[in-house]
């Protein structure tokens, strides 16, 4: 666990582990992971030494977007188990000292939610204004130019009402109308339902999407040279050709976030993590976390993009957050269930996708930055992006963008537990919902536990070492110029204790001036750097060092 400062909230500087329930462990052998499967394998997280667990959606859902389309906020999908199964999971996690936050989607529901079924039935029913409805233009076209992030227009015509309804994502995911106070009240009550169960907080999916412009004004086009992007695949979709100033990140959202914070404050020790997807994500994340009355922390996709790991990529993202007004606190992730796995994204084009030294460096770097760290299941194994054929695709976004991109399925394949068992020990079903590639089976947990040089044992050792140094939980960060984009140097400082963190991000040996910091590195798990009498430090490929 992270070092304890009695004045610091438990989540600040903590390390979380994200579980995608479909792919963690299948307890009933239907080829799909479930809540009892997570419960059975919680010791894996305890052994890693993480502080918290983020569970992706497990609510009742038709699964058009695999749980991000909720049809009942207060029930568990039969695919994943029951409410009782969740209660058992929560109790066991707490017994193991692991906090639990759940992924909730407030901006939209499933098209099959009873609220929407009622809302679409007429223009004068009790829930007629619970969703975003608008008449067509005189020529029959949609109300404005807003686009769906998953492709096409953000509007679908409903013949029952002779109106369009808005959806930022799939047509099966209609947007709720947060301008309606009854909607706001219901979502607060929904959050209270889960807080009463004893959860430790929420991961708030696309929280900046909850409000839309009431006047339904067109989004303007991006200016020439504007490189801000709301998606990671800007060249593939017209969505990224607009400035998204009217369909999301509306100023009214902050007031709702403040109301949600008041609810959270009724449950001491709970926290909120916001997902912020915006053209200017770092600034938006800072705005949603500033002061002591909004979200506790937020993360963006700032470090989940790019095809190469460089010092400027890291420094610019981190520095940009702390340069924002206010005193917001960031969270950092290099990958999750929506993006290409980091080993492939930053390693594939450069030939070190399967290099253990590289994946160890990436993991150490994430857990050394100032902020709360979120690791995605499989990162502790160094899993790469799986190649998925069109016939195997499940992700609707991937089907839309094929063949330019296979979508999100490549990072969602099941966790390999034991290479000697069918489906690498994930399931005894005849087939699994997504395939497990052979190179993942080669990195199975049972195999890595027997390999002293494995990524898995490194992860355990690193997090155990990190626990002993509260500077990584509560310390400040300052970047030091190296003159080389493949050499990253920053300090973490707490009170009078300073640790220098040095990372060789390349596959070449690097030498840098180390001057006054010539103490022997206190911790290097591999590729030990060498110091010389002239104040230089030589770092082998992907070496990293911490000097106190």
DSSP secondary structure string, 156-202?
EEETTTTEEEE-SS-TTSPBB-TTSHHHHHHHHHHHHHHHHTT--EE
Query: Would you state the structure tokens that stand for residue 362, as one six-digit string?
Result: 């990436």
**Whose structure tokens read 């188990």?**
81
Closest to 282 (Cα-Cα) out of 243, 337, 255, 322? 322
Question: pLDDT tens digits for 27-55?
Answer: 999 999 999 999 999 999 999 999 999 99
Residue with tokens 């666990």: 1
Residues of the chain with pLDDT under 70: 1-6, 227-236, 515-534
pLDDT score of 533: 59
The Cα–Cα gap between 252 and 209 comes to 11
Which member of 205, 275, 379, 385 is catalytic?
Answer: 205
Q: Given this model, what pLDDT does residue 527 score?
A: 61
Rounded-to-integer distance, Cα 306 and Cα 304, Å: 7
- 430 as an active site residue: the answer is no
Helix axes 252-265, 181-196, angle to 10 degrees: 30
pLDDT of 531 reads 63
pLDDT recorded at residue 192: 98
Instruction: Give the closest residue to 196 by CA, choosing from 266, 261, 260, 141.
Output: 266
The span from the CA of 487 to the CA of 507, in Å, is 11
Nearest to 271 by CA among 263, 259, 281: 263
The yes-or-no answer on residue 266 being catalytic is: yes
Q: Compute the distance between CA of residue 379 and CA of residue 292 in angstroms, rounded to an integer.
A: 32
| Model pLDDT, residue 534 | 64
Indicate the fold that domain 475-547 takes in CATH.
Immunoglobulin-like (2.60.40)
| Set 266, 450, 495, 496: catalytic member | 266
Q: Are 123 and 175 in contact (CB under 8 A)?
A: no
Continuous H helices in 405-547:
438-441, 445-449, 455-467, 471-474
Q: How far apart are the C-alpha atoms of 397 and 403, rounded to whole Å?
A: 11
Contacts of residue 199, defined as CB under 8 A and 6 or more positions apart, other chains included, come to 90, 100, 101, 102, 270
Residue ranges covered by each domain of the chain: 15-107+181-466, 475-547
CA angle at 327 for the pair 322 and 333, rounded to the nearest 5°: 55
Angle, CA of 486, 491 and 492, to the nearest 5°: 130
* Per-residue pLDDT tens digits for 488-506: 999 999 998 999 999 999 9
Residue 399 Cα to chain centre, angstroms = 22
- Residue 120: predicted pLDDT: 98
Residue whose tokens read 């829930």: 127
Place of tokens 């399931």: 427
DSSP assignment of 30-87 = SSS--HHHHHHTHHHHHHHT-SEEEE---EE---TTTTSS-SEEEEE-TTT--HHHHH
Beta pairing class for 59-60 and 72-76: antiparallel
- Other CB atoms within 10 Å distance of the CB of residue 12: 19
Domain with residues 15-107+181-466, CATH architecture = Alpha-Beta Barrel (3.20)
């Amino acid at each position: 666990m992270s070092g304890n400062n009695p004045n610091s909230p438990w989540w600040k500087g903590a390390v979380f582990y994200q579980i995608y329930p479909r792919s963690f462990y299948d307890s009933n052998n239907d080829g799909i992971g479930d809540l009892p499967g997570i419960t059975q394998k919680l010791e894996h997280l305890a052994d890693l030494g993480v502080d918290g667990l983020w569970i992706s959606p497990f609510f009742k859902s038709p699964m058009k977007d695999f749980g991000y389309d909720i049809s009942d906020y207060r029930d568990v999908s039969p695919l994943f188990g029951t409410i009782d199964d969740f209660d058992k999971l929560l109790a066991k996690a707490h017994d193991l000292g692991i906090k639990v936050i759940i992924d909730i989607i407030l901006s939209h529901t499933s098209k099959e939610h009873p609220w929407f079924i009622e809302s679409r039935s007429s223009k004068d029913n009790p829930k007629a204004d619970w969703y975003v409805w608008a008449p067509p233009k005189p020529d029959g076209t949609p109300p404005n130019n807003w686009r769906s992030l998953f492709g096409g227009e953000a509007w679908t015509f409903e013949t029952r009402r002779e109106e369009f309804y808005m959806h930022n994502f799939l047509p099966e995911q209609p947007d709720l109308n947060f301008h309606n106070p009854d909607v706001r009240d219901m979502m607060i009550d929904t959050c209270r339902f889960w807080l009463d169960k004893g959860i430790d907080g929420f991961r708030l999916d696309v929280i900046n999407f909850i409000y839309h412009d009431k006047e339904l004004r067109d989004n303007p086009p991006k200016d020439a040279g504007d490189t801000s992007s709301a998606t990671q695949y800007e060249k593939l979709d017209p969505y990224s050709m607009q400035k998204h100033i009217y369909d999301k990140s509306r100023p009214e959202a902050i007031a709702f976030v403040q109301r949600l914070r008041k609810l959270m404050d009724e449950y001491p020790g709970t926290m909120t993590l916001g997902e912020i997807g915006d053209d200017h994500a770092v600034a938006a994340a800072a705005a949603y976390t500033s002061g002591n009355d909004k979200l506790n922390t937020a993360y963006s996709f700032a470090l989940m993009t790019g095809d190469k790991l460089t010092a400027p990529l890291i420094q610019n993202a981190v520095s940009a957050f702390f340069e924002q007004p206010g005193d917001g606190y960031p969270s950092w992730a290099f990958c999750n269930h929506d993006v290409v796995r980091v080993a492939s994204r930053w390693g594939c084009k450069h030939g070190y996708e399967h290099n253990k030294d590289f994946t160890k460096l990436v993991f150490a770097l994430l857990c050394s930055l100032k902020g709360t760290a979120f690791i995605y299941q499989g990162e502790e194994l160094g899993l790469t992006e799986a190649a998925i054929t069109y016939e195997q695709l499940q992700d609707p976004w991937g089907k839309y963008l094929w063949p330019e991109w296979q979508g999100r399925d490549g990072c969602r394949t099941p966790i390999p537990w034991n290479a000697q068992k069918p489906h690498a020990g994930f399931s005894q079903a005849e087939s699994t919902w997504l395939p497990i590639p052979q190179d993942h089976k080669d990195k199975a947990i049972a195999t890595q536990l027997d390999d002293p040089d494995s990524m898995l044992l490194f992860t355990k050792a690193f997090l155990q070492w990190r626990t002993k140094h509260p500077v990584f939980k509560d310390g400040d960060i300052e970047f030091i110029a190296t003159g080389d984009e493949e050499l990253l140097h920053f300090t973490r400082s707490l009170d009078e204790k300073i640790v220098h963190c040095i990372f060789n991000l390349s596959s070449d040996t690097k030498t840098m001036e180390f001057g006054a910091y010539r103490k022997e590195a206190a911790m290097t798990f591999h590729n030990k750097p060498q110091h010389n009498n002239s104040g230089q430090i030589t770092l082998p490929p992907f070496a990293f060092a911490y000097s106190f």
